[in-house]
Amino acid sequence: MLRTLRNQTQSIFFKAFLVLLIIGFAAWGVGDLSGNSNQNSVLSVGKQKITSEEIINELNKVRYRMQQRPSINEAIKNGILNDIINKFEQEILINAEAKKLNLYVPLNIQTMAIRDEQAFKDPLGKFSQVRFLKSLNNAGLNEEKYLDMINTEAYFKQLSMPISLNKTYNTKIVKKLIEWQNEVREIDYFFLDKIKENKIKVPDANDLQVFYNEYKDLYKIPVTKNFKYIEIQPSDFKKKITVNDKKIKEIYESEITKYTSNEERSLYQVISQDIDKANAFIKKLKENDDFVKLAKDQFSLSKKDIDIGFVKKYELPKETKKQIFDGKTKDVIGPIKTKFGYAIYQLNTINPKKTTSYKDAYAEIKRELLNELSLELLYKDISSIEESIDQGDNLEEIVNSELLNGKFKVKNLDNFAQKGILYLSNGKIKNINNRKLIADNIWKITSNQISDVIELPKDTFMFVQLIKENKEYTPVFKEIRTDIYKKWVEKEQLIQTELKLKKIVKENKVKFNKLLNIERNQINLTNKIKDKLIINQIFKMKKNKINFIKLKNGVIAIKFINSKTKNYNLKEDTINQLNASLSESFFNDYSNNFIQILGNKHKIKRDYKSLENFISNLDLN
């Protein structure tokens, strides 16, 4: 079965739930996750069953993928175990319903579902059986189980198709939503600039320490990793390549059509269903040769309507192509009977066939050939590097081997977090290019392990070797005292500004400004007051109550006065967008209810006690 799929698609589509599992389990052994073997069924429908061991294996796979690697006990408390049980329950019920209805997944549907997957392709974009088998093995899966997963999702799509295709909702509901979107509000407001820093009393050491204790989690440095890497680009290989003129000449001659543009002609065109009207148009055109004016007078067509631009011979209907391409500039051709009616043309411009000379094409061909040969060398070396990695070589050994001849450098990056942020030694943070792609790959490997090749934009390839993992760390007060002081002052400025504003508002010493027609989707309140959150808060306010909101540069007092619905046109695109959103929401609710219905229909048996007993015998740390 898999052999056929490989031949047809040369690729595997990795389902979302499978991706969760590919995290390098080989390093710690999938087979020994649960400790004790237990084949008691927790969920069963007919002969299908899910055991305690299967559930705990799945739980361990998920928690080992998480950054903090929670204990089993923590995973249970956080609801991860419930999510996994629900996942298994959905699978077993969907498969039971599919079996009852004699559903099946044709081979062509399977190939369509899996053809675009990148995870199993080599750098040349071809299916790699080694990567395919290695990924499945690391995930604790075999080919049969993988196909079962694909089939389960296909079954659910078949079962839910009538609901998933639902696109239309009651117009009243849609209108209510559109009215909500088009609500505008009127407010009174007064903005007070932030008090100057020199007006703030210098805090004592105790104040700063209290502030540090309250906000130190904001300075927390998450788990980071130190790694080394090498980068390879096609340009690194250009010096090894000699491009001779003979090869360039051969390419030019073999691809001459690429450097040849066919003759093309620009035309005006009018079409009439009435031959008499077409002939009358031709007759008047002989009296007044203004094709554009006559098309407007006789057929109410603008210049834009009749100008079909440049066309090549093969783009024209067979009834017209010969006459048009035999004509001369300004010739009027027609009427010609076509399947669309009687066509009349005016030939405006002729661009003759043109061939770029070898001399003019030389530089482009040489550049493309150089890039192509460089890529071939790069891919060849990448394959050799992967073989060296499989043999246990580290990056230094690979760089200094005959393969790369010491022409590449192994570079280091320390304190790199999973979100792609680099924590520098001076306490600052820095984002690096392609950070998410690199981070995703680093977090899949263990210490001293080298990643699979990472393909970056612009034909750049990277191999990463993990050096060590750094534990989560919170700097002590002395290390960040300067920044703590700065943050304390900023907060105190806003606190004092708010107190001042509340006082002068209470004493009626401010004159409020008025703003009309504030919309939900506007970005700024005014040119000076730029904070999207203010807009959100305005639409949550109660009438005639003064609200005080701290901003980066000051504090604003706002009173919501009135609201109305602005005039709007009920456009078809808007209705379609809202229907799509409502349909998705409804489908999610339907899916949950559908699984409950299937549970009753197939009389699913749940034995959570056996799972609880199994868990009680495990080490939950």
pLDDT digits (tens, 9 = 90+) for 444-473: 888 888 888 888 887 788 899 999 999 988
**What local confidence, expressed as pLDDT, does residue 187 receive?**
94
Helices (H) and strands (E) in the chain, counts: 22, 19
Task: Give 82-101 as a DSSP string.
Answer: HHHHHHHHHHHHHHHHHHHT
Answer yes or no: is pLDDT of 481 > 60.
yes
Burial status of residue 56 (CB atoms within 10 A of its CB: 0-12, 13-18, 19 or more): buried
Element (H, E) at 341: strand 341-351
Average pLDDT score, the chain: 80
What is the model's pTM? 0.43
**What local confidence, expressed as pLDDT, does residue 599 receive?**
86
Measured CA to CA, the distance from residue 464 to residue 446 in angstroms comes to 11
Alpha helix (H) residue ranges in 341-413: 358-390, 395-399
Q: Which domains does the chain have, with CATH numbers?
A: 2-165+601-616 (no CATH), 184-219+478-565 (3.10.50), 224-239+381-470 (3.10.50), 263-352 (3.10.50.40)
Cβ(292)–Cβ(300) under 8 Å? no
Measured CA to CA, the distance from residue 515 to residue 454 in angstroms comes to 53
Q: Which of 41-45, 217-221, 465-469 has the lowest mean pLDDT?
A: 217-221
β-bridge partners, 333:
345
Confidence of residue 196 (pLDDT cuts 50, 70, 90): very high
Measured CA to CA, the distance from residue 606 to residue 620 in angstroms comes to 23
pLDDT digits (tens, 9 = 90+) for 400-420: 888 787 778 899 888 888 888
**What local confidence, expressed as pLDDT, does residue 524 receive?**
85
